[in-house]
Amino acid sequence: MEGAGFGARFDDWDFFDRFGRAREAAVDFRKLEAFLTVANTGKFITAAEKLFISQSALNQQLLKLEQELGTPLFHRSRTNWGLTEAGKIYVEGAKAMLSIKKETYNRIYDVSNIQKGKLTIGLTPGRGLRMFTSIYPELHKNCPHLQVVPIEMRVYLQQQAVARGEIDLGFITLPLSERTSDNHILLGTEEMSVIIPSGHPLAVRASAPGKPLSILDLKELQYEPFVLMDKNSTLRAVCDQIFAKAGFTPNVLFETNNTASIVPMVESTLCCGIIPHYYVRNPSARLACFALEDHPTWDMTILHKKGSYLSSGAKEFVRLAKEYWSKEESW
């Protein structure tokens, strides 16, 4: 009988054809990841190496994607792969699709009480990495199936990576004026200290160890050389504000990209410095430490994308970070 049972007539056997084509057109997240890797690096060979696939396999994925869309996504050359106008549009869509996939999976893992997924964390050089190595054993114990990817990154790069959805969390230190519109979970507020060599004439004014720091008028160091962080750091932004308020431009002898390097440079009697108090909690006898009159500070925060979902693994990392810094005596 027509229209019933196994003999039911699909006027259109092309239903199966349409279904097959729909399956072929379904989102292949591997293609999206391959596309974005080439788009981000601009280098085909570099992208293949990052993806751990052959150049031939990568090229096939991109060609299939372009065939599906019916238009080129890249301007190809031996040295650089630039995005076409269609490619620029596809970048935004690809990022959105991967973000939706990740958030959906994380929500499902959480409601199912499955401690898995992937958590990518940006960490500042130095103490960011020290914090991570300290809390990771507990994080792994509590979330044994969570894939955690720590990446050493400077603050401004973390801000960009969070905004683009390339990392889930960022551990950053910055003044309020340098915050972006993404979400910040406060871990603590830290004061800046002025450090000078112990042989400097003003060093005799320093307070005794264990006592509150004596206050120093920064103008008294107006003609002294300074070591400062480079201009691409949030600490430099803080220092520039401090010097502007003091009413002079510092004589910069050295610029460094490592905060911890400031201390030994000052100890060598070459210059003075301004540094977060964390680095001089237990200063050597070769340093004299002072507070500034207006007690300038910056914040230590966990950054995550505005409107994004915080997985249970991310929340556990935040909890452990808060616990870690609450035990520190850096403020």
Q: Please indicate whether residue 330 or residue 229 has the higher confidence score (pLDDT).
A: 229
Domain shared by 160 and 217, yes or no: no
Domain presence at residue 6: no
Phi, psi (5° rounding) for residue 297? -135, 170
Q: Are 42 and 74 a contacting pair, CB within 8 Å?
A: no
Q: What is the mean pLDDT of the chain?
A: 87
Cα(43)–Cα(34) distance, rounded to whole angstroms? 12
Domain shared by 200 and 285, yes or no: yes
Identify which of 200, 317, 298, 180 has the alpha carbon closest to the alpha carbon of residue 241. 298
Identify which of 216, 191, 220 has the alpha carbon closest to the alpha carbon of residue 206. 216
Which residue, 97, 132, 151, sits at the end of a domain? 97
Cα(105)–Cα(100) distance, rounded to whole angstroms? 8
Model pLDDT, residue 117? 85
Domain of 248, in residue numbers: 190-297
What three-state secondary structure class fits 291?
A: strand
Domain shared by 128 and 174, yes or no: yes
Domain shared by 126 and 224, yes or no: no
Position 16 pLDDT exceeds 50: no
Position 88 pLDDT exceeds 80: yes
110 confidence band (pLDDT: 50, 70, 90): confident
Domain shared by 167 and 194, yes or no: no
Domain presence at residue 40: yes
Position 26 pLDDT exceeds 50: no
Domain shared by 86 and 143, yes or no: no
Position 25 pLDDT exceeds 50: no
Position 98 pLDDT exceeds 50: yes
Could you tell me the pTM of the whole model?
0.75
Q: What is the CATH number of the domain that holds 254?
A: 3.40.190.290
In the structure encoding, which two tokens stand for residue 238, read together? 């803080």
Domain shared by 165 and 19, yes or no: no
pLDDT digits (tens, 9 = 90+) for 270-305: 899 999 998 888 888 899 999 999 999 999 999 999
Domain shared by 207 and 287, yes or no: yes
Task: Please state whether beta strands 82-83 and 215-216 pair in parallel, antiparallel, or not at all (unpaired).
Answer: unpaired
Q: What is the CATH number of the domain that holds 170?
A: 3.40.190.10
Domain presence at residue 21: yes
